Structures are given as structure tokens and as C-alpha cells.
A and B are shown apart, each in its own frame.
Chain A
Amino acid sequence: ASGDGKPAKFQPPPKPVIIDKQKQRAERRFLSPEFIPPRGRTDPLKYYMERKDMIQRRKVFNIPEFYVGNVLAVTTADPYANNKSNRFVGICIQRGGKGLGATFVLRNVIEDQGVEVCYELYSPRIQAIEVLKLEKRLDDNLMYLRDALPEYSTFDVNMKPVSHLDHEEIPVNKLQVRMKPKPWSKRWERPKYNIKGIKFELPESKMKEAQKWSQPWLEFDMLREYDTSKIEEKIWKEVSEGLKK
């Protein structure tokens, strides 16, 4: 009550905010990047036919949601192996290709030898894909792990899958990776690669010299803009309806 003398205006109590966990779960939707067609002059009928085939394959064989930077285990059919199948565990360093030719590269260090294997997502030889650890990293492309110390690319082949709750956000691992001494396979300090996940221990003069190759006009270039939001909406509807059937 205020010291005015007049009766205080009735303030209704604040309404309780109910956070529905189920709604939160439905909000996060993930559309695999290979569904989005690239910009070009091809007939959209071609991408429509590819998407139908991709949805067919996904109905038969489950392709889980995964990002660059998480650890996967892939079993493929191999006619020359003992059990006729081959299991490889590794960290996903890049996802390329669109449509049925979508690929992902897994990297691991086995007995002090770095091994990278490129798998096609929709290949009929793949028998199982398991996500052992679901997390994102600071970059889209982890090719710099080739020039990093081998401890950042080693993963135990018999690693147990780390459980991940459905409604939580995907954790972003802000790990800064330490590199081997130069020369590297690519000049990762240059702004063209835009890498945030390396702890550069180079002198200031080298970092300044690398900024000479920066192209600050690129982000304002209107001809390079490719707005995929509307396309993604349509494709998301198509894919989710196709998978529900």
C-alpha cells in the first residue's frame, strides 16, 4: 500500500510462465545441408527427383543428425574384410556435396598414422552410422586438424557413445587447437579461411602480414548473396511430410 491516502490500484499477480518442454523439443529442426540446392541454372525437377530418392533412402536407413566436429562410427560392407564389414571411428572434418552425392570426411589417428576416409551419405554399402559424441565446433571445416598436434585428432576406436538429451541445445566446443610448427598444408592464418578454432602462436608481425590478403568487400558483395531461408522452409515441409509417410 502506498503512503498517498488513496487506495492503491489493484495489481494482479504476475502470470506464471509455463515452459512446455515438448514444444521446445519440436522447435529445433535440423535440415541436412545436402538438401539445399546450390545456386545455378539447372532445372529444379532434377533436385526434386534427387530429394525423392534421398527421402526413400532415409526411410529405409536412418541417417542421424550430425555436424562437423562430432565423432561418428561408420560400418560399411567390405567384400575383402573378415566379417564382410568394416567399422571406422573418427571426427567429421567436412561435409561436402549436394543431393545424392553428399559426402563427409572422417579423421582419426591410428597407431601414429593419421587416416581420413571420405564416405558418401547415401551409398548403399554403408550399413550403420552411429553418433558417438554430438557437438559443434567453432568452424565449418576442420581441415586444419591435419596440421595440428595429433592428440586433437585421436579418438578411441571403442569409445562409448556419449548420451545427448533431445531438447537441449547442441554444445559448442570452443576448443582452441595448438598447431605443429610451420610449414602447414594451407596458410590457415589468412582471413580467407576465417578460422576461429586455432590458438595462433605466431608473432604479431606475421598475423599483421596475413591480414594483407583480407577482402573486406566480400561480405557486402550483393551478387554473392544466396538467401536460403524460404527454400529451406519449403524443403523442410517436403522432407518432413515424406518421412512421416
Chain B
Amino acid sequence: VQDCHVLRYISKEESGGKTAKLLVGGKNVSPFFKPESAHQIFKEAGVPCKQKVSTFNVTDDAIIKPGTPLYAAHFRPGQFVDVTAKTIGKGFQGVMKRWGFKGQPASHGQTKTHRRPGAISTNKASKVYRGKKMPGKMGNIYRTSFGLKVWRINTIHDIIYVNGSVPGHTNCLVKVRDSKLPTCKEYNKNPPFPTFFADGDEKLPEDLFDEEIFKFTDPSVTYT
């Protein structure tokens, strides 16, 4: 988590959605490479220019004042989390890599046809349906992986250790949200609400672990 700040509060009526929204900005970048129109939001909040701004749907009792920093301790070990990011861009790819088609055999008389899609529609349809799987640009789109468990949180360097894999290349910007899966609702019951405030009273230890994980200070595992 690198320098996240809350930028603006948009009420339910203003945005026209079902819940209120909070705009949150990510990593700090230099203001010289941003257009002047983008500078205004950051000036109002009193915060340096951010590389990425994203919206979070928030209930009314969880509204935070614009300008407050957000830390990794906002999440606790044992919670479940959805992670969204832009996938690695693979460029223009053929149908076998992009959609997993089987292609054609390598030998036995195949003339110049080994990785082609083959037939694209039936005779009766007499047209190609919209959304037909065909070669094209693959990757570099936003995708979410759902229901990832948080195993460990480092409060000093603001690192969240999450189960499984996450979309995107190394060092890419990622949006982390409480999970919306119905099976994970009971695990997300006791978060620090509305968020973890650094200048508050509670002092957290450097590393927060889940109960089931092996801490390196424990001796080796033995079965009985």
C-alpha cells in the first residue's frame, strides 16, 4: 500500500447510484505530467498528485473525511478480499492462446491450417453472431479475482499477504476491496471501522498473522 488518500466524498443523490461513493487515490507521482484539470481534486483534498483514482461504494456510516491516509492495517488477517487489476497485455493474439481453441493436427495432410479457428458459424444462421470468439488484442483489461484470504499484514511497510494469485504484472497498481461473495460475509464481520487511523490510540505490532499460518518464530512442526 503506497500513499493512499481519500480524495472526495460523493453522496448518493449526487452520483445517482444506490450508495455513497468515496474517491480514493493511489501512488504519488509528480504533478508536472498531469493535466491542470486533474490537479483540482488533489488541491481540494490537500494531497500530492496520485497516479490512479478509483471509486469505492460505501455505506453512509463508513464515510471518511477527504484527506485521510489509508493504510494496510485497514484489513485484518482472516478477512476475504477481492483484487482488481489490469491483466498483463499480450498484444494481438490468435484464437488458440486467446480463447483456448484446439486448432488442427500438425500432420496428416493439413494444408496451411494448424492454429486457425475453423468454422465461425452455421449455414442456417447465415450470419456471424456478435461476440464471436476471434483473434484480437488480449490482456490489458481490468479483471478481478474473488475471495482471496488475507494471511498476514505488515504494518511498518504496509504490505498485505494475500492467498493465491492476483491479476497484473509485478509492481502494477491494484484495487483491494472487501469480498462481496456470500460465503465470505461471516469472516468480514469485525474490520477496523471505518478505517485504521495511524494517529489513533491503538498501537499494532509490526506483523499481524492469521491463527492457522506458521510464524517463523515457532519451532518446526511436529505431528502427534
Question: Smallest Cβ distance from B149 to chain A, in angstroms?
Answer: 19
Report the minimum CB–CB distance from B142 to chain A (whole Å). Answer: 22
B154–A124 CB distance below 8 A: no
Q: In the complex the two chains form, is A79's CB within 8 Å of B157's CB? A: no
Residue of A nearest to B220 (CB): A127
In angstroms, Cα B215 to Cα A61, docked, is 13
**Inter-chain contacts of B224 with A (CB < 8 A):** 84
Do A43 and B219 touch (CB < 8 A)? no
Number of interface residues of A (CB under 8 A): 19
Q: Does A238 contact B (CB under 8 A)?
A: no
A42 within 8 A of B: yes
Task: List residues of A (45-82) whose CB comes within 8 Å of B's CBs.
Answer: 45, 49, 53, 56-57, 60-61, 77-79
Known: A56-B217, A60-B217. A77 touches B223 (CB 8 A): yes
Tell me which of A41, A57, A127 contacts B216 (CB under 8 A): A57
Return the CB mask of B17-34 against A: 1 if under 8 Å, else 0.
Answer: 000000000000000000
A208: chain B residues within 8 A (beta carbon): none
CB pair A124–B221 under 8 Å, yes or no, is yes
The number of chain B residues with a CB under 8 A from chain A is 15
* A126 (CB) vs chain B CBs: closest residue: B220
Kindly list chain B residues whose C-beta atoms are within 8 Å of the C-beta of A125: 220-221
B222:A127 contact, CB within 8 angstroms:
yes
Instruction: Looking at the assembled complex, report how far the CB atom of A55 sits from the nearest CB atom of chain B, in whole angstroms.
Output: 9
A42 to B172, CA, bound (A): 11
The answer to whether B88 has its CB under 8 Å from any CB of chain A is no
Alpha-carbon gap, A79 to B224, bound state (A): 8
Residues of A within 8 A of B159 (CB): 45, 49
Majority SS at the chain B contact face: loop
A168 to chain B, nearest CB (A): 31
- The answer for the CA separation of A60 and B154 in the assembled complex, in Å, is 21
Known contacts A45-B157, A49-B159; decide if A124 and B171 are in contact (CB<8 Å): no
Instruction: Name B214's closest neighbour in chain A (CB-CB).
Output: A124
Return chain B residues, CB-CB under 8 Å to A79: 223
Indicate if the CB atoms of A60 and B216 lie closer than 8 Å: yes
Q: Which residues of B contact A84 (CB under 8 A)?
A: 222-224
Of the candidates A53, A84, A124, A125, the one having the most CB atoms from chain B within 10 angstroms of its own CB is A124
Q: Which of B152-200 contact A (CB under 8 A)?
A: 154, 157, 159, 170-171
> With A and B bound together, what is the CA distance between A126 and B219 in angstroms?
10
Partner of B171, one of A42, A57, A61, A126: A42
Q: Quick one: given A41-B171, A45-B157, are A56 and B220 in contact (CB under 8 Å)? A: no
List residues of chain A with CB within 8 A of the CB of B222.
77, 84-85, 127
Contact A61 B223 (CB under 8 A): no
How distant is A35 from chain B, measured CB to nearest CB, in Å?
A: 15
| Residue of A with least CB distance to B157 | A45
Q: How far is the CA of A225 from the CA of B211 in the complex (A)?
A: 44
Q: Which residue of B lies closest to A55 (CB)?
A: B216
Asked if B216 and A53 sit within 8 Å, CB to CB, the answer is yes
Beta-carbon contacts under 8 Å, A126-153 to B: 126-127
Closest chain B residue, CB of each to CB of A78? B223
Please determine whether B221 and A49 come into contact, CB atoms closer than 8 angstroms.
no
B218 at the A interface (CB under 8 A): yes
Q: Is the CB–CB distance between A60 and B218 below 8 Å? A: yes
Measured between alpha carbons, how far is A42 from B169 in the docked complex, in Å? Answer: 10
Chain B residues in 8 Å Cβ range of A56: 216-217
**A to B CB contacts below 8 Å, 20 in the list:** A41-B170, A43-B170, A43-B171, A45-B157, A49-B159, A56-B216, A56-B217, A60-B217, A60-B219, A60-B220, A77-B222, A77-B223, A78-B223, A84-B222, A84-B223, A84-B224, A124-B221, A125-B220, A126-B220, A127-B222
Chain A residues within CB distance 8 Å of chain B: 41-43, 45, 49, 53, 56-57, 60-61, 77-79, 84-85, 124-127
Given contacts A43-B170, A43-B171, A56-B217, 19 further A-B contacts (CB under 8 A): A42-B170, A42-B171, A49-B154, A49-B157, A53-B216, A56-B216, A60-B219, A60-B220, A61-B219, A77-B222, A78-B223, A79-B223, A84-B223, A84-B224, A124-B214, A124-B218, A124-B220, A126-B220, A127-B222
